[in-house]
Amino acid sequence: MVKTYTFNTVDSTNVLAKQLAEEGAAHGTGVIARNQTAGRGRLGKNWHSVEGKGLYCSVIVRPQLSIQEYPKLTLVAGVAVAQVLEALVPQKVQLKWPNDLFFGGKKCGGILAESSSLVEANTKRYAVIGIGININHTLDMFPLELQDQVTSLFIESKAELSIEEVYEKLRIELLAQVKRFEDDGFNAILEEWRQRDYLLGRQMECVNTSGVVVSGVALGPDDGGELHVRDENGQVHKVLSGDVQLARKRV
Ligand code: BTN
């Protein structure tokens, strides 16, 4: 039986899960907290946690894959989370490359996948999949400046949910999708991701990690999970990582 560590308050479940992974915690080990004081988002952003209202969890995975495959885990996790949420809310989840979860154009959650060092031997390699989902939030629980951009499962379905039950379903689905990735490869999972692609065909701007601004129409992720964008000159750019936003309006 794989263990889940449950806390009232932590700084970040990802930080804790990474410590546990470094100490050798098994594939599937989870960390869940009612609150986080320093929840982390992608690209060094903060993740706003509301005590007892959201799901704040991290799951350690140790897939037998080359380290080059590890970045795809964010998209694999996106499909797992979408499948679980779609069974709870009568709406399709939209996935905004690479890690955002939306309902009706509003953010309801995000994924922060972090890997062990690239040089780590196969046997020691791990990734921590951090997942934050707005579950029982009402709109007034979010900072004023975010209220027109966010939503929660409660807002969408008008039903309160058990956060522990959502966590358990998510952990099981995440591990199932990671196994599918190991056994059958990325293509079928990517196809399911593409069916929920929020950015596809939209005009967007992206600052990649080299600081270069790419603006154009989103063409979706390629077979390696990297986003393609076509600029106004017809040139196609690849975006491996970076901050992606719709042109003009920040999301
Ligand atoms: C994002 O939208 O940028 C990703 C947000 C990920 C937030 C979750 S909450 C649980 C886990 N612990 C963290 O510190 N971050 C992730």
Q: Indicate whether residue 101 lines ligand 1 (CB < 6 A).
A: no
- Between the CA of 111 and the centroid of ligand 1 the distance, in Å, is 6
Pocket mutation for ligand 1, best pick of 18, 56, 128, 243 (most atoms within 8 Å of C-beta):
56
Please give the single-letter amino acid code of residue 24.
Answer: G
CA 239 to centroid of ligand 1, rounded, Å: 21
What local confidence, expressed as pLDDT, does residue 213 receive?
Answer: 83
In whole angstroms, give the CA distance from residue 162 to residue 184.
Answer: 33
pLDDT for position 245 = 73
CA distances from 193 to 55, 73, 99 (A): 22, 12, 11
Tell me if 27 sits within 8 A of 60, measured CB to CB.
yes
Per-residue pLDDT, 193: 98
Q: Which of 16, 47, 51, 56 should be mutated for ligand 1, with most atoms under 8 A from CB? A: 47
**pTM, entire model:** 0.94
Which residue pairs from 147-156 have beta carbons closer than 8 angstroms and sit at least 24 positions apart in sequence? 149/106, 149/107, 149/251, 150/106, 150/107, 150/108, 151/103, 151/104, 151/106, 151/107, 151/108, 152/53, 152/54, 152/108, 153/85, 153/88, 153/89, 153/108, 156/89, 156/91, 156/103, 156/104, 156/108
What local confidence, expressed as pLDDT, does residue 249 receive?
46
Q: What pLDDT was estimated at residue 67?
A: 85
The reported pLDDT for the residue numbered 208 is: 61
Q: Assess whether the C-beta atom of 45 lies below 6 angstroms from ligand 1.
A: yes
Q: Is the CB of 13 under 6 A from ligand 1?
A: yes
Which element (helix H / strand E) includes 76? helix 73-86
- Centre of ligand 1 to C-alpha 132, Å, is 5
Distance 46 CA to ligand 1 centre (A): 8
Per-block mean pLDDT, blocks of 10 residues, the chain (251 long): 95 97 96 98 91 98 92 97 96 96 97 82 85 98 95 96 98 98 97 98 79 87 92 85 62 37
